[in-house]
Chain A
Amino acid sequence: MNNLSVVGQRIPKLDAAEKATGRSRYIQDVTLPGMLYGKILYSKYAHARIVRIDTSRARKLEGVRAVLTGTDIPEIRMGVYKDNPPLKSGKVRSYRDEVAAVAAVDLKTAEEAIRLIEVTYEALPAVFDPETAMKKEAPLVHEAHKTNVLKMPWKLHYGDVEAARSEAAHIVEDRFSATWVTHCCLGTSGCIADFDHDNHLTVYSNTQIPSLAQKDFLGTLKALGLKDRRARVIKPCIGGGFGSKLDTYAYEHVAILLAFHARKPVKIQFDRKEEFIATSTRQPAIMNIVQGCDENGRLLFRDIRMILDNGAYTSWGATTPSVMMLPISSLYRVPNVRYEALCVYTNNTYAQAMRGYGNPQATFAIESAMDALAAKAGIDPVEFRRINANHGDEVTPQGFRITTCGLAGCIDKVAEALGGGKRKKGEGVGYASLVHVGGGARVYKSDGCGTLMKMNDYGQLDLFTGATDMGQGADTVIAQIVAEELGLHIEDIHVIHSDTDICPWDVGAHASRTTFVAGNSALGAARQLRSQIVKIASRVLDVDPQDIRLNDRMVISRQDPEKKIELGKLLRKSHFSPGGNMLMAEYFYDPDNENLGRDFKGNLSMTYTFGTHGARVRVDEETGKVEILRYVAAHDVGRAINPLLLEGQVYGGVMMGIGYALTEQVQLEKGEIMNPNFRDYKILTAKDTVPIAAPFLETTDAEGPYGAKGIGEPGCVPTAPAIANAIYDAVGVRIKDLPITPERVLAALKKKGGDDTCGIDPLTEKVYDCTS
C-alpha cells in the first residue's frame, strides 16, 4: 500500500483560500428576505421564582413581531435528561436561563424590546457547590426530581479492587479537580429558522449533528402540533465546533418558536458575551483516585470516585463518565478497576461535550497519580509507563479489543526527544499518555454515516456525505481517500456536507470518528464506483477486470500499459450510447462496534488511538510562572491520511490542552460568569504558542480507511498531566487543581511540604483538605 499518490500527501485544506480571503459564508453572512432578528432575555438570578413577566411594553414597541415567554410555548424538553425547556416558566435555575424572547424587524428593536420586558423575581436559596448540593438540607434545583443527584448510575467494578489493594506494595491516594473551560469557537453560535407556506421548517444552524438536530427540531414541530411536517437542516460554514455543537441549544428552538409565531424567518445570532454565557462548558469534576502497583511496578488496581457539577440542566456533560471509563479501565494494563461518578445539580452553568469528552479530566487524575505512584515505587516515570503499557491484541477489563497499539513506541519517541540534555535549576520534564476511541464510538444506537456519489462525464465527482466539516478538514480527508481509490486528483472531488435534504444520515462529528467512519463510508461508495468503472473499462479496453488500474485520471491495463483510456472519455462513451448509464453509488457504513452494556462492557470502538505527550518546562520559583520550553506529542494514528492536517489537529489540541492546564477558566462567582470575554478568559494567543513536535506512528489498522485512526481529540487529552508532571519534576510540587496558575504554584512552593497543596483556591486562598 505504499505507492499511494493522494493519501499521505500534505494537502492544504480545500477551503483554506476561501476562508483566508473571506469568501466562506458563515451563519453571520446569511440573511433571508423578510428575516427578523430574535433576542433572548436571560435570568437575573441564579435561582429564583418568576413571580410575573410583563411583556406589554415590549409588545407595543414598533417593529416587534413576536414576544414569547415560558408560558406561551408548548412542552419542549431538551437534552439527554429532558430537563431543559427552551424558555423557562415558574422558576429560573441559573443565570443562563432563558426567560423570554422577542423577534423584531432589526436587532436594535429586538434589543430594545428585551429591555422593556419586566420580570419580577423572588430570589431562592441557591447552591453552587456539588458536594454541598448532595447534602439533605441543600436547596433543590429541580423540586420534582426530589434530589440534586441525577439518576445516572455511572458505576463499574471489574476484578476485585479491595483484594488487589490489600496485595499492593505501593499505593497512592489523591484528590484532583478540573474546572469549567469553554470551546471558544471563533465563529459564534447562530441560526435562522424559516417556515414555508405549508409549515415545513428549514433551520440554518452551526451544528455538528445535522441528523440528530433534525430529530430534535422535528420534536419541536410535533410540540407545535405540526407532526407530519419536514425539518431540513442546512449548515453554513462552521467556525469551529470542539463538541460545543453536539446538542441543540435553547436559542435554536426559540428561533423556531419565534418564526412560527411571526410567520417570518427569524435569526438569532450570539455575540461573544452571549457565546460565553449561553453555550456550554467542559464538564468540571472533583476526582478522587487510589492507584496501586506491586513491587515490580505492575499496576494492580485503580479506584476512582468522581463528583460532577451538573449545573442546572443536563446536556452531554453528564454523560462524560462514559468516556472517562475508557482511560480509567484501559489506559495501561490494570486488572482491577472500580469507578463511580455522581452528577449533581447546582445553580451553575451546565456542561456539554468538549474535545476529549471527559478524557482530559480523567487522564489528568490518572496520569498525575501514575507519576506519584512511580515516585513511591522508586521507578523512573518513563520506565513505569513502559512496564504498564498496553499492547496490541489484548482485551481490556472493560471489553475493549485493542487491535493495533503503538503506545510503547510513542513512549519511546517522546522519552528520546525530551529525556537527554542537562537540566537547569527550575527545569523539569513530565510525561503522560492517552487512549481514546479511534474507530468510531457506538454511543448512539447507530454509529453510521452515509455517502452518495455521482460522477459527471468528465470524471468529476460530487460526493454527498453525512459528515460535518467544522474546520477540522473532514472534506479534504474524505476527498483524499476517494481520490486515491479512484485514481483522481484531489480537485476532481467536490464534497457536499451541508444539507440534510441532500446528504445522508450521520450520527455527528464527535468521538474523533469522522475520518474513520465517514472515511470508510466514502471508501465503500468509491469502491462501488470503481467496480462500475472497471466493468465498463474491461469491455472498452478488452482486458480482464483484475488487470485494470485507475491512476492519474486514466484507466490503464497493468499488463499492457498501452491499453489505456482517459477516464472522462470512457465515461462519455458509456453515457452517450444506447442504453447508456451514469456512474452513481451509495454506501452506508455502520462499524461493527458495540454499545456499552449494563455493566458498561462492550467494544465501543473498532480501534483505539494511543499517544504519549511530554513537556519540558521551566518554573519561575519566585513568581510560580510556568514556561513550556518544548512539547512533544507522539500518536499512533494508524495512518496519516494528510500529515499537514494531522499536525494541525495535534498542534491545536495541544494549545487547547495547554490553556486547560495553565490559563483557562470560566470564572463563576455564585453562578455568575465573571469573565465572558477574551480579555479575562485566558485563551492562549498566537504569541503564546510553544515549540511543538508531533511525531506519529503508523500502525496501519486493518479496519481504518487506508489504516487510519481518529486523531481529532487526543491532542488535548494528556496535556495537563504532562505539564503538571513536568512541574513536579522541576520544583517538587504537585498541583492537583486546574488551571495550574502561577498563584497555585507559588502557594504550593511556599507550603512546600511538597505534596499537600490540594485545592488552594487562588481566588479565596481557601485551602481544601485533600485527605478526605
Chain B
Amino acid sequence: MKPFTYLTPHTLDEAVSLYESHEGRAAYIAGGTDVLIKIKEEKIEPDYLISLAHIPVSEGVRFNEDTRALHISAFTTHRTLELSPLIRRDYPILHDAVKNIGSVQIRNTATIGGNLANAVPSADGAIPLITMDAVAHIYGTKGERTVDLIHFFLGPGQTVLEKGEILTEIVVPPAPARTGSAYIKFGRRKAMELPLLGVGMLLSLDADMTTCVKVRIGLGVAAPTPIRAYNAERFLKGREVTDATLAEAGQIAADEARVRDSIRGVAWYRRELVGVLVKRMGALCRKRITDEKSIS
C-alpha cells in the first residue's frame, strides 16, 4: 500500500480547491470503506486523500414540510439512516437496504454518498434511491447542479461527477398516497455480503386498492449500473395488481435485465431471481400499503 497525505478541509470550497490543486493525484474519502480497499489492492494510488468528514454540513436526514421532500446529506452513514425512525416508517425501501449493508461496524462509518459515488452495480444504497426517483445534488468549482440519480451512473465505477465534484445531497420527492416500497438483497449469507441480485420496488395504488397508478422497479447487479426495469413498469402501470400480473411483471423484468456470469453468480440464475424477487417485492409493497391503511 502506497502512503498518502490525509487532508482535512473544513468547507466544500476548500475541499474542491484542494482537489483542484492536487488534480490527478487526489481522491476524496468519506467513510473510506471502498476507497481504502482500492488503495490497499493498489487499484488506485493517490498521493492525497481529501476527507469529506470534517465539513460541517448537516449529516443526516431532514424532511421538508413544504415540499414534502426528503433531504439526505451525502455524508450520512448507513447506520444513521438505519436508525432513523422517519426512514423506517416512511421510506421502508431504504431501511430494508441500509440495515443489511456490511456489518454494524461498516455501517457506522460508510456513507450513502460514498456508496453512490463508488458506483458499483451491487451498491445497496443506489437501488432504493433510483426507485424513489431521487435527485443528486452536486457541488464543484462551477457551483451546484442537480442530476436525476438514475442518470448519475455511467458504468462500473463511473458517474457523471466531473473531476473534483462532490455529491452533497440526495433529495427524494414525495410519493403519492397509498404507496408501498420494499427492497431485497439476495445473497449467500446474512451479513458482510454483496448482493447476488438487488431488487427495489415502489408501488402506488389507486383508491380502489388494486389499480397501479405508479410503479418503479430498480435492479442491482442486473446490468453494469443500477437500472430500472422500464418494460415491467410500463406493463404494470394502469393494470390491476394481482399475483398474476406481478408474476408477469417479474418475467418482463427478467427479460430486460442485462445479467451476466461472474464468479459470484451465473446469468441464468440471476435472471430467475429477477422474476421471482420482482414478484415478491410487488407483493410486499402491496402488503405494506394495506398494513398502513389498516393502521391509519
Chain A residues with a Cβ under 8 A of chain B: 622-623, 625, 663, 667, 669, 674-675, 678-680, 682, 684-688, 741-743, 746, 762-763, 765
B293 interface hit (Cβ, 8 Å):
no
Q: Summarize A's interface: helix, strand, loop or mixed.
A: loop
A742 CB contact (under 8 Å) in B190, B263, B269: B269
* CB-based closest 8 A-B pairs: A687-B191, A687-B190, A622-B276, A685-B191, A674-B263, A743-B269, A682-B188, A688-B190
Since A685-B192, A743-B269, A765-B268 are in contact, a sample of 20 more A-B pairs with Cβ atoms closer than 8 Å, ordered by chain A residue number, is A623-B186, A623-B276, A623-B277, A663-B188, A663-B189, A679-B192, A682-B188, A682-B189, A684-B189, A687-B190, A687-B191, A688-B189, A688-B191, A742-B269, A743-B265, A743-B266, A746-B269, A762-B266, A762-B269, A765-B266
Q: How far is the CA of A743 from the CA of B194 in the complex (A)?
A: 17
The interface residues of chain B, by DSSP majority, are classed as: loop
Q: Which A residues are CB-close (under 8 A) to B268?
A: 765
Q: Is the CB of A763 within 8 A of B266?
A: yes
* Alpha-carbon distance A529/B103, docked complex (angstroms): 52
Compute how far the CA of A623 lies from the CA of B264 in the bound complex, rounded to whole angstroms.
16
Most buried by A among B186, B188, B264: B188
Can you list 18 A-B pairs with a CB-CB distance of less than 8 A? A623-B186, A623-B273, A623-B277, A625-B186, A667-B263, A679-B194, A680-B263, A682-B189, A685-B190, A687-B190, A688-B190, A688-B191, A741-B188, A746-B269, A762-B266, A763-B263, A763-B266, A765-B266
| Residues on the B chain within 8 Å of A622, using CB | 276
Cβ–Cβ contact B192 & A746, under 8 A: no
CB neighbours (8 Å) of A669 from chain B are 263
**A interface footprint on B242-275 (CB within 8 Å = 1, 0 otherwise):** 0000000000000000000101111011001100
Q: Tell me the complex Cα distance, A669–B277, Å.
A: 30
| Given A674-B263, A675-B263, A763-B266, A685 and B189 contact (CB-CB distance below 8 Å) | yes
Give, as a whole number of angstroms, the nearest-CB distance from A549 to chain B: 52
- B residues near A (Cβ < 8 Å) are 103, 186, 188-192, 194, 261, 263-266, 268-269, 272-273, 276-277
Q: Which residues in B have their C-beta under 8 angstroms from that of A688?
A: 189-191
B125 to chain A, nearest CB (A): 17
Expressed in whole angstroms, the minimum distance between the Cβ of A270 and any Cβ of chain B is 15
B84 to A: closest C-beta gap in Å? 22
Q: Find the residue from B192, B261, B268 having the highest chain A CB count within 10 A.
A: B192
Q: Which residues of B contact A762 (CB under 8 A)?
A: 265-266, 269
Taking the nearest CB of chain B, how far is it from the CB of A766, in angstroms?
11
What's the Cα separation between A678 and B192 when bound, in Å? 9
On chain A, the residues within 8 Å of B277 by CB distance are 623
Of A685, A686, A746, A765, which contacts B272 at CB under 8 A? A746
* A residues less than 8 Å from B190 (CB atoms): 685, 687-688
How many Å lie between the Cα of A682 and that of B268 in the bound state? 21
A663 to B268: give the CA distance in the assembly, Å. 19
Tell me which of A623, A625, A688 has the highest count of chain B C-beta atoms within 10 A of its own C-beta: A623
Closest CB-CB distance, B135 to chain A, in whole Å? Answer: 31
Q: CA of A166 to CA of B176 in the docked complex: distance in angstroms? A: 74
Given the complex, which residues of B lie within 8 Å of A684, measured CB to CB? 189
A687 CA / B101 CA spacing, docked (Å): 13
Chain B's closest residue to A667 (CB) is B263
Query: CB distance A686 to B276 under 8 Å?
Result: no
User: Closest CB-CB distance, A617 to chain B, in whole Å?
Assistant: 16
Q: How far is the CA of A84 from the CA of B186 in the complex (A)?
A: 43
By a CB distance below 8 angstroms, the chain A residues around B103 are: 685
Q: Considering the chains assembled together, what is the distance between the CA atoms of A196 and B109 in angstroms?
A: 47
Complex CA–CA separation, A765 to B188 (angstroms): 19
Q: Which residue of chain A has its CB nearest to the CB of B268?
A: A765
Assembled-state Cα–Cα distance A621/B115 (Å): 33
Q: Given A625, A680, A685, A686, which contacts B264 in the complex, CB threshold below 8 Å?
A: A680
Chain B, residue nearest A744 (CB) = B269
Report A-chain residues with C-beta under 8 Å of the C-beta of B265.
743, 762
How distant is B275 from chain A, measured CB to nearest CB, in Å?
A: 9
Alpha-carbon gap, A685 to B105, bound state (A):
14
CA distance A694 to B226 in the complex (A): 45
Chain B positions within 8 Å of A625 at CB level: 186
Query: How far is A678 from B276 in the complex, measured between Cα atoms in Å?
Result: 28
Give chain A nearest CB distance to B260 CB in angstroms.
13
A688 to B264, CA, bound (A): 19
CB distance from A22 to the nearest CB of B (A): 16
A625, B272: Cα distance in complex, Å? 13
List the B side residues contacting A742 at CB < 8 Å.
Answer: 188, 269
Considering the chains assembled together, what is the distance between the CA atoms of A746 and B103 in angstroms? 29
Q: Which residues of A contact B272 (CB under 8 A)?
A: 623, 746
Smallest Cβ-Cβ distance to B279: which chain A residue: A622
Write the nearest CB–CB distance from B283 to chain A, whole angstroms. Answer: 12
Which residues from chain B contact A741 at a C-beta distance below 8 Å? 188
Closest partner residue, chain B, to A689 (CB atom): B190
Query: Could you say which residues of chain B place their CB within 8 Å of the CB of A686?
Result: 191
Inside 8 A of B269's CB, which chain A residues have their CB? 742-743, 746, 762
Q: State the Cβ distance, B46 to closest chain A Cβ, in Å.
A: 17
